[in-house]
A and B are shown apart, each in its own frame.
Chain A
Amino acid sequence: MMWTRLLALIVKELLVVLRDPRSRTILIGPPVIQLVLFSFAATLEVKNVDLVVMNRDEGPSGIELIRRIEGSPSFRSVVPVHDPRALQRAIDEEKALGAIDIGPSFSVDLAAGRPAKIQVLLDGRRSNASQIVNGYLGVIVNTYMADENEHYRRTASIPRVTPRNWFNPNLTFTWFTVPGLIAIVALLVGLLVTALSVARERELGTFDQLMVAPLRTHEVLLGKMIPPMLIGLGHITIYILATVLVFQVPLRGSVLLLYGSGVFFLAAVVGIGLFISSLCATQQQAILGAFLFVAPATLLSGFATPIENMPDWLQPITMVNPLRHFLVVTRGVFLKAMPFSEVVKNTLPLLAIAIVTLTAAAWLFRRRTE
């Protein structure tokens, strides 16, 4: 008996969402735009860098070093300048991210075995890109100096650093972003569908009808919970397919584990959505409420910047963010073939969050009906 009632409610909810052209728009438009924009634009890779170089050295070494820098695929242009003011202007006006200043006695010092001075000047307004460019230049200059030393047969004792990148050999940024987007889209869709469905009934006055219908509170709640979860799973599936087929990200772990964890994540998200919507009277407020949750949840999840970079007092607070836990699972399953035990360890917090938010939402619902 309960199952027929529940099924009817679920079918009705799905029809409401899928029939309304507006809800259809949010289910299709934003997720597609996000997939395209985030996967291509959200990159912390540093490529096509513009540099200026001030070569005050007259010997062959300065020219050879510049040739090597120009040969690196990371740099788009290496423009020569002749005085410090032009160098400063290039950085000030953001025409170059950095500058290399080769001292006047570079070749002579290098040949004589004295320390040869090179200075790298970087734009601190973009400090992250600057640090990475500094790393690139460090490798080029150190390799060059080691080669020169070998050439002059002085010493072979400069250690060479051999880099090796596990899980993502070319440090391809989409391998990092796109699996994360699976979690983000599930969050957005789950939250908006839930929050809007309750707010919509409130606005139209049909919520009271639902409350007086022969349905128990938990049945109404389940009826409101299951459709957004189904829609969320649909989006997860489409995104997984795009990740594998379009972005060619290796799927090294088990897709079943990903779905298993995804169900708990969606339950937690829907719980939050129900909680928000039980506080809102209109769809407008529900949208703003959802935005007020999504913005901090995304920023404090490790999606764009690692949690370990946050201050120590903030890191424990991120534990209540369901996105944080599910991101570890999506990235782990895709790139690191995350084992069952680790997936469970990251799914348990999702279960706890779901229990807390759903209980709170049920309590708020009941309170409003009385």
Chain B
Amino acid sequence: MNTQLRFFLLTLTWLAAGPAAAALNIFACTPEWGALSKELGGEKTNVYVATNALQDPHRVEARPSLIARARSADLVVCNGAQLEIGWLPLVLTQAGNAKIHAGQPGYFEAARFAAMLEVPASVDRAQGDIHPGGNPHLHLDPRNIAKVAAALSERMAQLDPSGADSYRARTKAFLERWQQAILRWEKEAAPLKGVPVIVYHKNMSYLIAWLGMREAGSLEPKPGLPPTASHLSDLLAQQQREPAKAIILAAYNDPRGGDWLAERAKVRVLILPFTVGGNNKAKDLFGLFDDSIAQLLTAR
């Protein structure tokens, strides 16, 4: 047999085996849900993460690459609560994939399974960029991740019955480790109870609520509006009256406003990873919380 024919046959077997090896194609909108999908799906899934930790999740564009990946996705795992409103509907309507439209089993929104905070009683854009379904940054409460994991695993099992046992077993193992980790984090973070911090955007609310910390203010005068000089000087005055222990930013936030305030108010700026990949310690969901709590503990 000549080498060309052998190569051809090899390619054929590879092509035939390729798609079978990854039973479930998952399109994850944000890194945290991508990481969770990988934890629960393991080898049986092929996870594409549409955004990275250094991107502002509110401002993502419906890039051609996202449409191409959504085209072959079996399951879209998104945050929901309108976090992806600026781009996901466009990707879904252009992808030509009926499996992943809202309402189909192939469309999964984490926010539907979490306990939401800051659900506005009324919505008006004069209040800034608010989300009618509540604060969308729900993954920073690890208990929400556990709830989402349980629901996501069932969804994976529904879409790929052949892998159901594997998904359930992996989820069980993950949740055991996760519950232990939550206990450990809560113990470690006990001294953070009541500690006041200033945030950049309302993207840390779930972390703050979970650890019993206190949000003393935000650099943004209103959600989605960049810090202004007058708002920063108000914060500075407030800081002199009742000092917050730290300014906490996400990896994607502009550090300039925080640095300005930190310099004058003698307070530390902590750049938390915010999601998986936000720094080199936040390699997975465990690392995300390990590093966030370790950093916060330095601020006491």
* A, B: real partners: no
Give the B-binding residues of A (Cβ under 8 A).
none
Taking beta carbons and an 8 Å cutoff, which residues of B are in contact with A? none
